[in-house]
Structure 1
Amino acid sequence: MPIALDWLLLLTSGTVLVLSLLSGLIVNRLWISEVTLCLLFGAALAASSTYWMHGILSASGQLSNLELVARLTLGVAVMGVALRLPFEFFRTRWRDLAVVLGLALPLMWLTSALIAYVCLGLAILPALLVGATVAPTDPVVAQSIVSGKIAEHNVPGRVRRLIAGESAANDALGIMIVMLPLLLMQHEPKAALADWLVDVLVRDVAMSIIVGAVLGGFTGVLFVRAKTRDYSEDRSMLVTGVALAFTSIATLQLLGGDGIVGSFVAGLVFNRRISGLETRQHHLSAALSRFFDLPVFILIGLYLPWREWMKLGWSGLIFAAAILVFRRLPWILLLGGFTRSLRHHEERIFTGWFGPIGVAAAFYALQAEAEGGMEWLWPITSLAIFASVLVHGTTATPLARRLGSRLARHRDGE
């Protein structure tokens, strides 16, 4: 292995090790998320002008490598959410998910597109593509917000489950809204629509759902039999979850489908199959996600395009601020009353504010660049990612405490 890659391995693994040892101190005392620290650490490394740092950036390749890491991270993240949430949540709260996915997500897409159109002066189709990449909430950053002692103590479980479930499900379906403007920019409308129906809806979504369900169901049956016959133990859940995520991604890549959709569905079906077993799947899936989630933000930090951001000037800053404020919050405030999970106005404000942009946006932007040559997309999307991870990562703890105190007053007043 080249020396530069040894350094990269040391930096990423060492950072995860330190953050794992100090996670309680960081979240509870410093009020900053671990993913925010990783992103800033990667940005600081990229800003250094040392010889070995240039070697790392050269050896780690171009943005295509970041796309691969983001794909694997997303697959593991949505698998972790599918394993962590009780299957009953998806059965009993499907209407809540329908509201946030079927209504809020398209509105977030169109709002983000309008912001890009007004602030950055993009044409309609490029603005729609930007809106599509930043619309889905990120399961990696969302999990860092709704997990931990402070969140579990102050944020009701139904709110945390809705944020986590939405972040995994909308990333799995985000491919549909990303590919539509991308195809329209490459082909005539009639041909683009035909490609979208066949290649995206049938191959990327429908086929991926079927393949993921088969893989998850088959793995679940084998795991139940192994567990009941003492061939397997709780600790094997960790290996099984990672292997199932990677198997789903690799299988669907070979078949031309979408591995993120397949991984999420495989996790749901697998979770359903093993729901009668007593396993410590919550802690195991949390450890699984933690190990894979943090390094990707160091890599994103390494590839932040500071020069391109400078060229955007004040328009870029206004765009990032408008995305944070107007992309999601107004729609959750409007639609949250139609859900059972968000019972109080304060809960709708909290859920509307915490719709983070992260790995999913990076993956979709880099995928659009690989498939359509949209090099201009990464600077814009990465700016939204940086703003979201920085702002959401530093406001999660104080706002969770504030929500807890407000809900306590409601309970005292009843």
Structure 2
Amino acid sequence: MSLLTAFASVLLLAVLLSSLAHRTILSTAALFLVAGFVLGDGVLGVVSATAGDDVVGTLAELALFAVLFTDGMRVGWADLRTAWRLPGRALGWGLPLTLVITALGAHYLVGLGWIESLLIGAILAPTDPVFAAALVGNEKVPPRLRQLLNVESGVNDGLALPFVMVFLAVTAGSADLHLGELAAELGLGIVIGVVVPWVAIKLERTRWFAASTQYEPLNALAIGLLVLALGKITHGNLFLAAFAAGITVATFGQRQRESFEHFGELIAEMLKLAALLVFGALITPALLGAVGWRGWLFALLALVIARPVAIWISFLGSGLSVREQAAVAWFGPKGFASVVYGLIVLGSGIATAQEVFQLVAVAIVLSILLHSSTDVVVARWFDDEREVPAWYGTARRLSERARKRAPS
């Protein structure tokens, strides 16, 4: 079975089950991950994929570019200015604290060197609300909590990226370490991501150019493709370019943002699911067993200690209720950015690439399975109607009827 056939089949199944997934603990992301694992070389062997395959690297690159581009569009500068207080705590304190606590676990529990441990911390620090969709999309969850999770997850992928690249460069050793060149690539990516969409939006506002209603959704797509092409030609960092481009479009092109939003999210979702399928195919029973009990314990602690402790410290005195803080602390799922960063490390050729990837893979697998299967349960925690037992409402109605019938 080819990769395309496998993806099309699982995608059709996911579409047919999507309504059920919105109401239950069934997760589309988990479906693709498990399907990749079962179809991969480790189990059925009908889909073959290795880290060195061109399709793996290309798919991961395109998927992360699309995700960061659409993430950036959700958090224009105006949105950040009006809703920065709580997300600022999560990003300014929570992200680095999560990185450090995770690195401490990797160093002292697994025995990795400090740089490799910091690399793993940077890879696992970003969060993804896709695996907590029922919580983020539930209108009975406090708006500030949903906004906090959305803004945090939209920004932290891009913020974690420089740390991943720097620690990866340091891990590669002095022969491959060119921090000046790395800084130039990161800076060039940001410049491309800001200049290209700004010029494109300004051109459309002149009297010589105007996008028709039919082609309006393609405007932002064309901007994204041009940013991608120029980033490849100039060797600017594609991922920072994508994130910066998304923020620039959201800031200066509200019309372009709105017309592209649904279309862009579908493109990013398809690429993301395809990459999850490939990621699952790379995970084998041998890989899951190779990490040993220390690796599994590290992955569990990364989910139940690193993020919760970092969030508890970050939100001291913030005014969030205990229930809200608990929800934010738990729903820090290791999402798609961590998947792609793990694939980047696996293909980097560093000496510890396999070990780092194995630990990251185990943490991501646990996160996807645990977070995507508990989002509905925790979302109901905020449903005030569900907090009252069903029998209570019936008993109260019967009591009121009896009182009305009773003689005065």
Using structure 1 for the length normalisation, give the TM-score: 0.82
CA distance in 2, matches of 1:246, 1:408: 48
Q: 1:361 to 1:326 in 2, by over 3 A?
A: same
1:15 Cα offset (Å):
2.0
Match of 2:5 among 1, 6, 10: 10
CA contact (8 A) 1:133 1:364 kept: yes
SS in 2 for 1:153: coil
The answer to whether the aligner puts 1:99 opposite 2:89 as a matched pair is yes
Structure 1 counterpart of 2:145: 159
The answer to whether the aligner puts 1:375 opposite 2:357 as a matched pair is no
Q: 1:97 to 1:352 in 2, by over 3 A?
A: same
CA distance in 2, matches of 1:94, 1:301: 36
CA distance in 1, matches of 2:203, 2:9: 36
CA distance in 1, matches of 2:269, 2:342: 23
The answer to whether the aligner puts 1:36 opposite 2:30 as a matched pair is yes
Q: 1:284 to 1:185 in 2, by over 3 A?
A: closer
The one-letter amino acid paired with 2:160 is: G
Q: 1:82 to 1:180 in 2, by over 3 A?
A: closer
Match of 1:207 among 188, 208, 211: 188
Q: 1:313 to 1:44 in 2, by over 3 A?
A: same
Match of 1:293 among 255, 272, 295: 272
Match of 1:265 among 228, 244, 263: 244
Structure 2 counterpart of 1:185: 171
The answer to whether the aligner puts 1:236 opposite 2:221 as a matched pair is no
The one-letter amino acid paired with 1:145 is: A
CA distance in 2, matches of 1:234, 1:330: 49
1:372 Cα offset (Å):
4.5
1:117 Cα offset (Å):
1.4
CA distance in 1, matches of 2:161, 2:256: 34
- Structure 1 segment 13-412 matched on structure 2, within 5 A: 13-28=8-23, 30-46=24-40, 53=46, 56-57=47-48, 62=52, 65-85=55-75, 88-138=78-128, 142-146=129-133, 151-187=137-173, 195-196=178-179, 198-204=180-186, 206-223=187-204, 231-233=211-213, 236-237=216-217, 239-275=218-254, 279-337=258-316, 343-373=320-350, 374-405=353-384
Q: 1:73 to 1:395 in 2, by over 3 A?
A: same
1:147 Cα offset (Å):
6.2
CA distance in 2, matches of 1:96, 1:265: 22
What are the ranges of 5 or more consecutive residues in structure 1 without an aligned counterpart?
410-414
Q: Deviations over 1:102-153 (max 9, x none)?
A: 2221111111111111221222222222222212224xxx2342468x8332
Q: 1:202 to 1:298 in 2, by over 3 A?
A: same
Q: 1:98 to 1:63 in 2, by over 3 A?
A: farther
CA contact (8 A) 1:76 1:242 kept: no
CA contact (8 A) 1:234 1:279 kept: no
CA contact (8 A) 2:190 2:241 kept: yes
Percent identity of paired positions between Structure 1 and Structure 2: 24
The one-letter amino acid paired with 1:108 is: T
CA contact (8 A) 1:83 1:271 kept: yes
Report the more deviating stretch, 256-265 or 117-126.
117-126
Q: Deviations over 1:270-306 (max 9, x none)?
A: 1222226794554334333322221211111111143
CA contact (8 A) 1:33 1:394 kept: yes
CA distance in 2, matches of 1:326, 1:62: 34
Q: 1:92 to 1:337 in 2, by over 3 A?
A: farther
CA distance in 2, matches of 1:289, 1:397: 23
CA contact (8 A) 1:249 1:258 kept: no
Q: Deviations over 1:244-284 (max 9, x none)?
A: 33432332233222111111111111122222679455433
CA distance in 2, matches of 1:171, 1:57: 29
CA contact (8 A) 1:252 1:262 kept: yes
CA distance in 1, matches of 2:379, 2:156: 23
The one-letter amino acid paired with 2:212 is: S
CA distance in 1, matches of 2:385, 2:206: 47
Q: 1:274 to 1:179 in 2, by over 3 A?
A: closer
CA contact (8 A) 1:36 1:393 kept: yes
Moved over 6 A (4+): 406-409
How many residues end up aligned between the 2 structures?
A: 386
CA distance in 2, matches of 1:324, 1:165: 20
Q: 1:219 to 1:159 in 2, by over 3 A?
A: farther
Taking only aligned residues, the RMSD between alpha carbons, in angstroms, comes to 3.1
Using structure 2 for the length normalisation, give the TM-score: 0.83
CA distance in 2, matches of 1:124, 1:406: 49
CA distance in 2, matches of 1:40, 1:14: 14
CA contact (8 A) 1:244 1:263 kept: no
CA contact (8 A) 1:234 1:280 kept: no
Q: 1:19 to 1:123 in 2, by over 3 A?
A: same
CA distance in 2, matches of 1:348, 1:281: 33
What are the ranges of 5 or more consecutive residues in structure 2 without an aligned counterpart?
389-408
